[in-house]
Structure 1
Amino acid sequence: MTLCPPGAVLKNLLRKEYLAMTDARNEQPVALITDERGAAEYLALKPATLRAWRCRGIGPRYVVLGARAIRYTYADLGRWVAEQTHVDPVAAAA
């Protein structure tokens, strides 16, 4: 399932910190990734929240490039949001 980033993030996809990783054999996009700031904007959170979650071992999956570059794939962010969906038991019983 592919989720499209929200409008504000979509406008920034051409910024240099957004990278399209490609499969070298057929030049097909493998994953669209963003930095911590872009991931926080996508999730409507503060970057500090994502940093705290990483330290606690919770939150969406992330990728470490090199020694310090933290990146998130939009697929993982969308999957994580879907996993956080809860149904109100009172409303479900009605």
Structure 2
Amino acid sequence: MEQPKLAIRAAAPTPHHPPLLTPEDVAARLGVSRKALERWRCTGDGPRFVRLGHKTVRYRHEDLETFISDRIVASTAMS
């Protein structure tokens, strides 16, 4: 008897799991170039990211929001 084949479906985004952001999405949101994001990934200066494959990078919404929140400053004076 032949086994039934299971259909593979991508999980639909839910309010708890919004879709991952592309580097283009993040660059536009931050007002920087994709090259800047690439440099930041190498130096560890940018938002945390998800590596899905050798060349496939995505960003989680919460990591981008944390990156932005961590950079809110009230003054340029050194402490």
With the length of structure 1 as denominator, give the TM-score of the two structures.
0.61
Q: State the partner residue of 2:68.
A: 81
| 1:69 partnered with 2:51 | no
Q: Runs (4+) of structure 1 moved beyond 3 Å?
A: 19-22
Q: Which of structures 1 and 2 has the bigger CA Rg?
A: 2
- State the distance in 2 between where 1:40 and 1:21 align: 24
Inter-partner Cα distance in structure 1 for 2:33 and 2:54 = 22
5+ residue gaps, structure 1, are 1-18
Q: RMSD between aligned alpha carbons?
A: 2.5
TM-score, length basis structure 2: 0.71
In structure 2, the CA distance between the partners of 1:52 and 1:21, relative to structure 1 (3 Å rule), is farther
Query: 1:1-94 alignment to 2 at 5 Å?
Result: 29-88=16-75
Identify unmatched segments of 5+ residues in structure 2: 1-9
Number of residue pairs the alignment of both structures matches: 68
TM superposition shift of 1:87: 1.1
Point out the structure with the larger helix share. Answer: 1
1:7-57 superposed Cα distances (whole Å, 9 cap, x missing partner): xxxxxxxxxxxx9765xxxx6642431111111001111111000111111
Within 1, Cα distance between the matches of 2:12 and 2:52?
13
Percent of aligned positions that are identical: 26
